[in-house]
Amino acid sequence: MSEMQSMPGSPLRFRHLLLERLTAIKTHTWMLRRHLQRGGLDLTAAEDHLDQIEVHVDEAAALAANLQAQVPPPP
């Protein structure tokens, strides 16, 4: 079972995993923007960046869903 499928062991670990994905998303976005501004955007590279962004968004969403499933609803 991967870290995305099970709740990380501690809130600090969860925070680390989530921030790691968000940082990766920002990095890929920054790289795409930089290539666009310089006019050197290769379509294959752009697709690769978009694919990676999508993977990281899906992983962050899975982490959030797992957290939601672990937290009991308020009384």
Domain interval for residue 22:
11-63
pLDDT digits (tens, 9 = 90+) for 5-58: 455 677 888 889 999 999 999 999 999 999 889 988 888 988 999 999 999 999
Indicate whether this model's pTM tops 0.85. Answer: no
> Is there a domain that residue 73 lies in?
no
Nearest to 19 by CA among 51, 52, 64: 64
Read off the pLDDT of each residue in 63-74 and give the average, rounded to a whole number: 79
> Is there a domain that residue 48 lies in?
yes
DSSP state of 27: H
Residue pair 14/67 in contact (Cβ under 8 Å)? The answer is yes
Count structural domains, the chain: 1
> Is there a domain that residue 21 lies in?
yes
